[in-house]
Structure formats: structure tokens, C-alpha cells
Amino acid sequence: MKFNNRNVFVSSKAKLGRNVRIGDNSVVYDNVEIGDNSIICDQCVIGEPLASYYKEMDYTNPSTVIGSDALIRSHSVIYAGCTIGGSFSSGHHITIRENTVIGNHCSVGTLCDIQGNVKIGNYCRLHSSVHISQTCSIGDFVFLYPFSVMTNDPCPPSREVKGGYIGSYTQVGVHVVILPGLQVGQNCLIGANSVVSKNVPEFSLVMGDPMRVVMDIRKYVVMGKGRPYPWMNRFDRGMPWEGIGYEKWMRQRNDLQ
Amino acid sequence: MKFNNRNVFVSSKAKLGRNVRIGDNSVVYDNVEIGDNSIICDQCVIGEPLASYYKEMDYTNPSTVIGSDALIRSHSVIYAGCTIGGSFSSGHHITIRENTVIGNHCSVGTLCDIQGNVKIGNYCRLHSSVHISQTCSIGDFVFLYPFSVMTNDPCPPSREVKGGYIGSYTQVGVHVVILPGLQVGQNCLIGANSVVSKNVPEFSLVMGDPMRVVMDIRKYVVMGKGRPYPWMNRFDRGMPWEGIGYEKWMRQRNDLQ
Amino acid sequence: MKFNNRNVFVSSKAKLGRNVRIGDNSVVYDNVEIGDNSIICDQCVIGEPLASYYKEMDYTNPSTVIGSDALIRSHSVIYAGCTIGGSFSSGHHITIRENTVIGNHCSVGTLCDIQGNVKIGNYCRLHSSVHISQTCSIGDFVFLYPFSVMTNDPCPPSREVKGGYIGSYTQVGVHVVILPGLQVGQNCLIGANSVVSKNVPEFSLVMGDPMRVVMDIRKYVVMGKGRPYPWMNRFDRGMPWEGIGYEKWMRQRNDLQ
């Protein structure tokens, strides 16, 4: 059956690349640009207008860009003003609000909720039900697990918006809370259910509420696995060093620079 | 493009006020009344029938009332039997089950799940992914943050349904659990990841699992911010005292009474 | 109004039983079989194709079976390859991924997210926002409460997938985390916000992070309720012993064997 354009609405002001397919009952609003070979599944809304759309006669929908080779699963909502790189994939029922910028090769799992003005690097993976509040930012190769949350209001309620930052390669466990405005260094592992309440130096293993830096992650020994962190030498699925190894990839990269 | 009535279904037994607009693929069931200037975005279901709809030949959909100036975002579900005041706004993918009563000027964020028979006052804000179980109730000017949950079964599983209560002006942090049947007083601040396991007196700062009342919130000093609680003197966006200040608004209110 | 086939799409390769009704804007893909008297509400996707659907010319959608008397609420997604028993009911916005097998008389609440290759027994109830990761399995009569999560990666990120197991009759409280590959015995009660970090013997009351087995649940006394666990003698709504009592039902069952 594949895609058969049943009740699909694409604005005449949207630009679809070659071989883009749009699922049943999906809506693509003005000024959305979708790269070649991308797939939008059923019941999605792409280029969701901002609130002023409903009030201002002369509203123009901000430009939305989705790169090539995307796979966006059903019931997802991506706001106008977002820019998403190539090879993006999503789960179902995701929401990405306005002016969010996401790099290449990222995935955003089912029920994720990315508030506006968020910046996410390349090769990041948000598993299901991750909540990122406004103005937070995330490096490259960062993974967040279900029910983890980055907050941004240090003294709620307030008009302050202080999103934090997560450094590249860091892993954020299930049910982790990152309090507003904090910096988590590169290559950390934040254990399940921790509350990050101060800045975290790179290579930290963090646990607990209140959090403690338990040890340098490079010294962390797991029975039968040796020292599994940093993880890049033992995991490569979907990473740019897949098949060649992280060290070799880094050398090639450095040689090119 | 605005709203163009593409595949919108509105029951002939629904009443829409002046200038109500309904988004693509949305469904409005019997006996729904929507106030003037309200907006229902795409893929919503308003007046969702109760389970007996599917079994009883003579089912009548209970009356659903949504006030004027609502903005209900896409993929949201509001059950038959709910009463929602004016100036309501919602995020995406929300669910509000039957017989819930919500006051004026409230907002319910993306992925919130409000079970049936809940009562929420005026000017409350539920951020994303808040879960409120049946028969809980909430005062005015209460804010709840992501992944917070009010429970109602003291001895699961059971037939007991003991929803708790949150007093006016209280702030409930991310990942907070409120155990069944508890009363949280006015003007409290419940810190991130706390488990509320007993009644909380007004003006408490609560933290931890098991919870402790750390201090009177009026004595809580935040570096560079002095004593930020109660918060009404320093935050007014969207509040009825916006522009005039809480004290003056209270005096005016008292004078009127 | 009931169901009136407004913009419903059912593949010609799907098989619907007698008196099956499909809500507005729902999509039923190839090789889905739905039992008699089942109801799919609005905006659902049943038999959601796997990712290879979009890449392979000769893709065949795996068989999806939903038993009789199901009630699947709006905006839900059930993947191709799932097998779901009779009398299933769901909330809204659920996702059940491929090759999941669910027994009879189960319910899966609003916003639940069941990743692929999960096995769930009979008479289980997942309340709202429960996340079950791949290869986890669950016995019979198990209840999980909001924001509880079963994880499966012992050393993230990795290629290991070690889903855990929850024994029959066990109750898993709100915000509980079950770490990868663990076995939780029958008849346990896992208290709100606990992190299960080792195997749990049957009849345990578990609390805290790090978890402790507090006592044998059979000795647990609740003021005014005596010893409420195991719970089967005091709760029967929707259970097979409803009206006759657990002991009698067990005797009848044993007599039959």
C-alpha cells in the first residue's frame, strides 16, 4: 500500500525534495523545506505555526528545514522555525518547538518533548520521554534515556531562563534531573535517578540525590567488562566510526584538519 | 492558509461560539460547547465519549464546556463531561478525562494526563508531562513541573480513591511524587525529585525522599536573589496582578469584597 | 453519531471480525487481524509498518493480531508483528512496538511506551506513562504505575539487550526504575521512587534508592487495614476471581488441572 496521498495536506508554500513521502492525514504548513528521500509518517504536523498565527492577520510562518533521509514517525509535531540536519529519525508523538536546531544523524524517541530554542549537536540520541526545556544545549554523541529532564528555571516561577549544557559523549541515565544552568562535562555517565545539582567535570561518574561524583569514569570497572568508559571504543552502531574504530576515525579527522 | 475546514467533523449537536476555528482532522462530538474565539488545532478529539458509548444503544454524551479564547494544541483529547474556563491553553498530546473541572486562565502542557474527576482552580500551570490521578484537586496559582505526579491509591491495587490537594500558590518541582490523600498547604515549594509522604504545612520548603520540611520558605535565601518566596511579588506574567503588583491587586480585591 | 466511517482507511489485506468499528481518521495496515466486537477509536495507526517498509520494494507487513472485545483509545499506535489477546483496553497516545506479545484482559494506559519484543502475561495493568524497554517480560496480574520504567542496557550505550522480568502479582509503584536484566519475584510491592538494583525475592516490600528489602510483604501492617498483602483477597475488580474470591478461584483452577 505504501503512501497513497490519502488526505495529505501540503501547503503550496512548502518545498519537498525528491522522493519525499508524506503519510495519511499529515499536514505540512507554509515555508517548510524537506530534503530528498525523507519520510513523514501518518498524522503528523510539520511546521506547526506559532501562537501569533492565530491572532495576526499578516503572520508569516517562519522557515522550517528538515534535512534529507529523515524518518519521522506518526503523530509527531515539529514547529515552524526549526532546523534539523540530515538522517534524522524520530519515534511517535514527539514535539519539537520553535527555533530548535538539531544536527545530523540524531534520533528523538517516542514522546520526547523538546521545548523551544534548544540546540542539539550531531549523532545524539534521545530515547523515549526525554524533556528538554528552553535554551538548553547538548554537544555531539550525547545519549539521554527515558524520563530524563533538563530544566531551566532556577527559582520557579520566574522570568529567568537558564538552560544548561551537556558535553559531548556524555550518557544521561533514566529519571535523571539536571537542574537549571548547569554544565555537565564531556564523557560523563550520570546514573539512573540522579539529580545533577552542580557543575560536573568531564569524565565523571555521577550518582545519587544529592549527587556525588563517585569516581573518574576511566577507572570504573564493571565485572566481566573491564573498564567500559569512555564508551567509544566498544560501541559504534550508527556512529561515524562504525567499522573503523574510534581511534582511527579520530586520526583521520585530525589529519583532515 | 489558516483554518480551511479540511476534514473537520463537528457534531450537529455541538455549539460553537463566534469565531471558533477547528483544525484539520479534528473531531468534535455531541454536546460540546466551545466559547467565542477559541481555537482547536489539528488532529484533536473534543468531547471524547465515555466507554459506555460503545456499548449502550441509548448513550447520550455528557455536556462538555470549553470557555472563550481557548487555544488547544494538536493531538489533544478532552473527554465529554469536562468543564474548562476561559482563556485556557494547552500543549500537544494532552488527555483530560471525564468530569474534570478547570477554572479560568489555566494552561496544561504537552503530554499532560489528567485523569477523571479532577478539580483545578484558576491561573494554574501544568508544564509538560504532569500526571494527576482521579479525584485530586488543586487550588489557584499552582504550578507543577514535568514528570510530577499526584497519586490516589494508598494501598495498590484497591478500590480506594483518595486524591490529595495542593494549596494555592504552591510550586511542585520536576519528578515530584505526591502520595495519596495528602494535603499540601499554600505557598509551598516542593523541590525536584521529592516524595511527599505526609501533609505539608503552608509556607514549607520540602526536599528529599523521604521528604523533610527544610525550612519556612519565607526565610529561604537564594544567593543574589534575597528571599524569593512567596513568589507573587516578583513574578506576574499572565497573573491577574500583572502590571499592578500582587499587594495592590490583593487590596483592590479585598476592597471589592 | 457513533462510528460513521469518516476517512477510515483499512487495507484490503486486513481482516476485521464481526461488529468491529474503526474511528475517524484511523489507519489499519496490511495483515492486521482484529477480533469480533473490537473498537479502534479515532486517529489510530494499527499495524504500523517497520522501518524496512520504507526502503524495500518487496516488504511484507508482518501479521498483527488483536483479539476480540478490544477498546483501543485515540491516537494509539500498534506496530505490525504484535499479538494481543482478548479484552484488551488502552488509553490514548500509546505506542506498542513490533513483536510484542500481550495476553488476555490486559490494559495499557495513556502514553505508555512498550518497546519491541516485550512479553506481557494476562490481566496486567499498565497505568499511564509506563516505559517497558525491549525484551523485558512480565508475568500475570502485574500492575505498573505512572513513570515506572524497565530498562535493558547494563552499560549504555552498548549492543547488549538484557530485559528484566517481573513476577506475577507484583505491584510496581510510581517513578520506579528497574535496572537491566533483573528478576523481581512474585507478589512484591516496589515503593514509589525506588531503584531496583538487584534481584528481588518473592513477597518483598522494596523501598529506596539504593533499594532495600524492607520486610516480607506478608508482615506489612497498614493502619486500619491489617495486613493488606498479598492483595488478591481484597481486590478483585476485573480479575478472574471477581465475585468468587481468590482462594475459591485457585481451588477451582487446581481442580481443573
pLDDT band for position A3 (cuts 50, 70, 90) = low
Tell me how far apart the alpha carbons of residues B113 and C116 are, in angstroms, rounded to a whole number.
24
Tell me how far apart the alpha carbons of residues A29 and A79 are, in angstroms, rounded to a whole number.
9
Q: What's the confidence (pLDDT) of residue B57?
A: 86
Specify burial of residue B101 (Cβ count, 10 A radius: 0-12, 13-18, 19+): middle
**What residues pair up with B137 in beta bridges, in sequence order?**
B119, B165
pLDDT tens column, C125-144:
999 999 999 999 999 999 99
| Region of B96 on the Ramachandran plot (φ > 0 left; ψ -120 to 50 alpha; else beta) | beta
Fill in the DSSP letter of residue B75: T
Give the nearest chain A residue to B94 (CA atoms): A93
> Dmax of chain A from CA atoms?
65
Q: What's the confidence (pLDDT) of residue C256?
A: 79
Q: What's the confidence (pLDDT) of residue B10?
A: 95
Tell me how far apart the alpha carbons of residues C87 and C67 are, in angstroms, rounded to a whole number.
7
pLDDT tens column, A83-113:
999 999 999 999 999 999 999 999 999 999 9
Sort out which chain A residues have CB atoms less than 8 A from C151's CB and list them.
Answer: 145-146, 174, 192
Q: What's the confidence (pLDDT) of residue C54?
A: 86
- pLDDT by residue, tens only, chain C of 257 residues: 456 679 999 999 999 999 999 999 999 999 999 999 999 999 999 999 999 998 888 999 999 999 999 999 999 999 999 999 999 999 999 999 999 999 999 999 999 999 999 999 999 999 999 999 999 999 999 999 999 999 999 999 999 999 999 999 999 999 999 999 999 999 999 999 999 999 999 999 999 999 999 999 999 999 888 999 999 999 999 999 999 999 999 999 888 77
Higher pLDDT residue, C54 or A257?
C54
Q: Give the H/E segment covering residue B251.
A: helix B246-256
Mean pLDDT within B11-20? 96
Through-space distance between the first and last CA atoms of chain B, rounded to whole angstroms:
47
C57: amino acid identity, one letter: M
Cell 532556577 appears where?
A154
Residue B62 has pLDDT above 80, yes or no: yes
Fill in the DSSP letter of residue C231: G
Residue B3 has pLDDT above 70, yes or no: no
Q: What's the confidence (pLDDT) of residue C184?
A: 98
Q: Do B237 and A159 touch (CB under 8 A)?
A: yes
Q: What's the confidence (pLDDT) of residue C1?
A: 41
Q: What's the confidence (pLDDT) of residue A54?
A: 86
Out of B42, B171, B192, closest to residue A157 by CB = B171
Give the length of chain C.
Answer: 257
Torsion, Cα A125 A130 A133 A139, to 10 degrees, reads -20
Tell me how far apart the alpha carbons of residues B174 and B144 are, in angstroms, rounded to a whole number.
8
Distance from CA of A156 to the nearest CA of B (A): 7
Q: Which of C135, C42, C31, C12 is nearest to C80 (CA)?
A: C31
Tell me how far apart the alpha carbons of residues C45 and C111 are, in angstroms, rounded to a whole number.
15
Cell 495498590 appears where?
B156
Q: Cα A80–A83–A89 angle (5° rounding)?
A: 100
- Residue A186 has which C-alpha cell? 564531556
Cell 565485572 appears where?
A223
Distance from CA of A146 to the nearest CA of C (A): 8
Out of A7, A125, A193, closest to residue C177 by CB = A193
Tell me how far apart the alpha carbons of residues C163 and C152 are, in angstroms, rounded to a whole number.
5
pLDDT tens column, B156-177:
999 999 999 999 999 999 999 9
pLDDT band for position B255 (cuts 50, 70, 90) = confident
* Interacting residues of A104 by C-beta distance below 8 A, sequence separation 6+: A67, A85, A86, A87, A88, A122, A123
**Over the Cα atoms of chain B, what is R_g?**
20
Residue A150 has pLDDT above 60, yes or no: yes
Tell me how far apart the alpha carbons of residues C197 and A111 are, in angstroms, rounded to a whole number.
26
Q: What's the confidence (pLDDT) of residue B4?
A: 66
Query: Which stretches within C52-152 are classed as H helix?
Result: none
Whether the full predicted model's pTM is greater than 0.90, yes or no, is: yes
Torsion, Cα A225 A227 A230 A231, to 10 degrees, reads -10
Torsion, Cα A128 A132 A138 A141, to 10 degrees, reads 0
Q: Which residues of B touch C (CB under 8 A)?
A: 7, 9, 11, 25, 27, 29-30, 43, 45, 48, 51, 53-54, 75, 77, 93, 95, 111, 113, 115, 129, 131, 133, 147, 149, 151, 154-159, 175, 177, 179, 193, 195, 209
Out of A71, A129, A171, closest to residue C113 by CB = A129
